Structures are given as structure tokens and as C-alpha cells.
Structure 1
Amino acid sequence: MFDALDPTKRDAQQRLEQAVGEGRLTLEEFTDRVGQVWQATEPASIRRALADLPAPVPPAQVTTGRFTIDKVFDDISRGGRFALASGARLTSFFGDVRLDMRQVVLSEPVVDLAVSSVFGDVRVTVPPGIAVEVDASTWFGDKDIQVLGTAPLPGSPRVRLTAQTVFGDVRVTTRS
């Protein structure tokens, strides 16, 4: 029997953690592959989960992922594959902020992110299997935080999200 505590699975997970930490895998790719590793019943399944890992990115091409986006009378919408590091901030005055983190590449094991809006909504989507801590506050709006359900995968990155809005709603959801 192929034991869940088998060192082969632990080693495979460590390789995947390193790949997501180096920006070679998105959060979504990481959760998919770690799930394959832990559900594997034979070594060949683990090898398939690791076989096509993207090559390391040369240091000159690595971006920090720390950015600030401020908009007035406009929405902010960010999604797809991009680097995200602790300290990133998105703020909109008289506009909505929409952030889809399912293909984000985290450059640190713990990422602090601030998202806010005045006279607009804040909507954040995260992939399942990622540890997400949400500190949300609204003035004259509603909070809808639905990131529960799937337990974070062992060794997965952690996102600490601070979401604020005045005259708007905050919604944080998990979707694959």
C-alpha cells in the first residue's frame, strides 16, 4: 500500500512548494498538483504530477509582485497570471475593485494584501486549498466572506487580505 506519510509524497510536495514560491506555478496549479500527489496510489502518479514542472525563471526576469494601483472614477480589475508579493495595494475611489487570484503566483510564503474602495464594491476570488485570512470592514455596506469549505493544503502559501469599503460591499469567495 502507498502510505500518505510516504517520504516520496512529502518530497514531491516540497518540490511543488518550491515551484510555487519561485513563481513557476500559480496557486491554482499548485493546489491541483498537490491534490494529485496526496491522492496518488502509486509512484507513477506522483511522477506525472511533477513531470512537466516549468523550468526556474532566470533571476533577471523575476518581478517582485509588489505594486500599488490607485484609481479615481474607475474600476480596477486584475486577473490572469501575475506575480503578487506582500505589500501590494489596490484602491479605487468611486469604482469597484475586482481581483481574481486563481492564477496568481505568490513570491512569498505569506502575502499581505490590501484592497479598498470608496463608493464601490470589493470582490476577491481565491482558489480552493489556499490558506486565506480575511480582515474585512465596511461602512454602509455588506460583508460576504465564503472562503471556508476546503482545508488548506499542507505547505500551501498564506494570503492575509485586508479588504475595506465605504458605501459598498466586500465579497471574498473561493472558486476553482
Structure 2
Amino acid sequence: MDLEKRASADSGPVQPRPPVAPAGTADAGAIRASDADRDRIADILREALAEGRLDPEEHAERIDAVYRAKTVGELEPIVRDLPSARTRPEPTAYDYGPDAPAGPVDNLVAVFSSSTRKGRWRVGARTNAFAFFGNVEIDLTEAMFGQRLTVINATSIFGNVEVRVPENISLRGGGTGILGNFEVVALEGADPQAPVVVINGYSVFGNVEAKPKRGKRVADLHDRLRGHLGH
């Protein structure tokens, strides 16, 4: 035993071995960001703006970075200096229930510019509309609804977001106006299977408006529902 102790002392202190990562394990920051990851960061930024931690220009820059981020590692630094988002639900948020939308997110961004989506186009389950000193127009009167529930998250900062829907679908939702206007003209379609469009979000020194477009109706509503929803 004395010889073993002497040999150990002569060779110096034993250095700990570095941990070996399991095979196939990647750096967490290199994981591709999901739509849910981006939504979580956007919620933190929204809280920071409402609480005065960020001014509108800083908020716009960071939101732009959120939608450009490809990995989780690119998202986290955007909110590193901000408190975590509140876990309680927003009182004005619409409760989706079991029909919560899933799938890819369509982003419409207007920064000192305009962005328009109208005509015969396929509506995704979720759309983020962001206007900073700009204008976003979303016209759903001729759109193809590939699902029953469509959610539009609208943010306007010194800008304008307008959403127009046909008269024979359901329009719901609500948001917050901070020295601005947020208006959703509620509408319930007569057909219980008609598409439902929900508008959530907020405006700061801006305007968000969602309402039915008079005289516009989805003429082939039942055919579209059968064709796209498999009924």
C-alpha cells in the first residue's frame, strides 16, 4: 500500500476526466427553433413592452430577430436581459379549447412598409401580423380555409393591421390597446361548421381592426369544408 501511495504522490493529483456526451446528443443551443419557441420569446417581448422595459423601436428590432432566428441558441439572447413571461393566461386571450391550432406559422411583417395578403390563397392555421410604422392587410374574403380554426396574432406599433373576413363565418377574439385601438367586431356564422377566425394581440400607438366585409360571403362554403376537412 505504501508503494501505491508513493507512486500516486509522485505523479501529482489525479485530474478528473471530462464528461463524455452521449452519442447523438447535440448542443441544446443548436437545436432548430420551433414555432412554439418563437411564440414564447414573442410573449416575453410583449410583456416587456407593456411594462416599459422596452421602447417600441427596441421591441420592433427584437421581434424581427425572433422571426429570423433559426435555432434556440439564437432566440435566448434576445430576452436574456428581461424577466420570464408570466405563466398566467392573458384575460383577453381567446380560449381555443381542444381545437388549438397546430402547424406552420405564416409571418406578415411591415416595418416602414406594407404587407398584403388577399385574393384566392390558402389560409394557414396560424398567422403572425406585425406592423411597425407600417401597414398589414389580411383579406380572407376569397381565401381557402384548410382548417376550421384560424388564429391571427396581430401586433401594431405606430402602425395598422386590418383583417377582413366573409360575412358567413365566425369572427372572435380580443386584445389590448395601449394608447391605441384594438377592435374585433364579433360575428357568429349561421353554419355551425363554418370556419372560425380568432384575432389576438395588442396595439401601441397603433390600430388593429378585424371585421366582416359587407357583401362578401363564402359562396361554396360547404364544398370547401368537405374538400379541405374531409367531411
Q: TM-score range by the shorter chain?
A: 0.5 to 0.7
The 2-side partners of 1:138 and 1:121 are apart by: 12
Task: Give SS of 1:155's match.
Answer: coil
Amino acid across the alignment from 2:141: R
Q: 2:131·2:161 contact (CA, 8 Å) conserved in 1?
A: no
Q: 2:184·2:210 contact (CA, 8 Å) conserved in 1?
A: yes
User: In the alignment, what sits opposite 1:49?
Assistant: none
Q: 2:181·2:207 contact (CA, 8 Å) conserved in 1?
A: yes
Q: 2:154·2:201 contact (CA, 8 Å) conserved in 1?
A: yes
| Corresponding position: 1:129 with 2:163 | no
User: In the alignment, what sits opposite 1:152?
Assistant: 190
Task: Give SS of 2:147's match.
Answer: coil
The higher-RCO structure (CA 8 Å, 6+ apart) is 1
User: In the alignment, what sits opposite 2:212?
Assistant: 174
Q: Quick check: which has more Rg, 1 or 2?
A: 2
Structure showing the higher strand proportion among its residues: 1
Unaligned runs of 5+ in 2: 1-102, 217-231
Q: Mark the CA change 1:152 to 1:168 in structure 2 (over 3 Å): closer, same or farther.
A: farther
Question: How many equivalent pairs are there?
Answer: 112
**CA distances 1:44-96 after superposition (whole Å, capped 9, x unpaired):** xxxxxxxxxxxxxxxxxxxx874212232112222111111122212121112
TM-score using structure 2 length:
0.44
Within a 5 Å distance, the mapping from 1:1-176 to structure 2 comes to: 66-148=105-187, 151-175=189-213, 176=216
The 1-side partners of 2:189 and 2:126 are apart by: 25
The 2-side partners of 1:146 and 1:160 are apart by: 11
Unaligned runs of 5+ in 1: 1-63
Q: Mark the CA change 1:125 to 1:163 in structure 2 (over 3 Å): closer, same or farther.
A: farther
**CA distances 1:68-127 after superposition (whole Å, capped 9, x unpaired):** 122321122221111111222121211122211101112112122212221112211111
The 2-side partners of 1:69 and 1:151 are apart by: 26
Task: Give SS of 1:156's match.
Answer: coil
CA RMSD of aligned residues (A): 2.1
Sequence identity (%):
24
Amino acid across the alignment from 1:100: D
